[in-house]
Amino acid sequence: MTSIVDNIVNTFSSAPIPYELIFMIAVIIPGVAIFTVMALNAMIAVYFERKVSAFMQDRLGPMEVGIFGFKGGKKFWGGIGQTIADAVKLLSKEDIIPKDADKPLMVLAPFIIVLGTLLTFIGVPFSSNLVVSDFNIGIFYILAMSSIGVIGIILAGWSSNNKWSLYGAMRAAAQIISYEIPIGMNLLLVVIVAGSLSISDIVQWQMDNRWFILHSPFMFISFFVYFISVVAETNRTPFDIPEAESELVAGWMTEFSGFRWSIFFLAEYANMLIVSMVGAVVFLGGWLSPFQMVDLPFFDLPDYVFIFDGPFFGIFWMFLKAASLIFVMMWFRWTFPRLRVDQLMNICWKFFIPLSLLNIFFISLWELIF
């Protein structure tokens, strides 16, 4: 797998340009591209979530705000301009900082959270030839960078000088740090079987064999634990205890407004995309076409379906799998009630972590036998 950074460096290395300038170009171009993906993802995901929630509640959702006179009305694509209008509204709002708040930390906190998201995106591939940097320790890098956001959450809660913000930040830190353990343990199962931390090697193993979710019953359990854990990691319902409106107003985001609040919003939906893409890469074959998994002795697929296996369609399959996982997260939001704090921690420490430990033992035994 050739990374974007390697391509940029190779392109400009022969030109009479200082190495420092080449390094800046190699950092700025992917950074702008990633931030653009994050912004587009947030706008599309918000619109999609509004429509999904409206469908589940037998409503119509956004209808009136269109683009260039195109509204859509009661159709599914109605109100397609609503998210753009909301983004403009947020960016134009006054940025208010409470009098007794710690201003430097309050200004810094949102950017630490979005920095962790940007750094995590560097190791997440979009297709076989589209990744910012292909690390040979890709899984370890993603787990490490995704932990940076906790620092920003703690700073946001502490600097607000608000009891609700501090309670929300403490809950979020406990929740995220706790659920990182089962996430890491279940990703470790894939590393044990594939024999590599590199994401490209993991996808190559699935190309040569089968998707990990179909590898064994224990891998399916591993995917289930991983997915529920990342829902908790991203503070999505029913695990949105750090920002429970009925208890903590808006949790650690209570005192934030305008542009800085929109950054939190951006990072939340970007994290949903990241964990969904990692789940797609690790368990669902990544950018591989599902047609590659069909190998029936009594049924041959027509040749034309394999045109969907090319590198161009890799991006399509990757985003389709990630979007499917994001849809399930949205489905959870309008299906399950919010858990209590003790229930949330019991699920992690009393069920998921012991189950993950047992899973590591059984998958190791499975590999020795089969």
Q: Per-domain residue ranges for the chain?
A: 98-369
pLDDT of residue 202: 92
pLDDT of residue 221: 92
**Mutual angle of helices 217-233 and 163-194, in 10-degree steps:** 160
The CA distances from residue 271 to 209, 221, 365, in Å, are: 29, 23, 34
What's the pLDDT tens digit per position in 108-166? 888 888 888 888 988 888 887 778 877 888 899 999 988 888 888 888 888 888 888 88
Does pLDDT of 334 surpass 70? yes
Does pLDDT of 310 surpass 80? no
Q: What percent of the chain has pLDDT over 70?
A: 87
Write down the pTM of the prediction.
0.88
d(CA 61, CA 48): 10
**Confidence category of residue 57, pLDDT binned at 50, 70, 90:** confident
The CA distances from residue 78 to 39, 45, 63, 287, in Å, are: 21, 15, 4, 31
Closest to 245 in 3D by CA, of 164, 306, 301: 164
What's the pLDDT tens digit per position in 246-303? 777 777 788 888 888 888 888 888 999 999 999 999 999 888 888 766 554 455 555 5
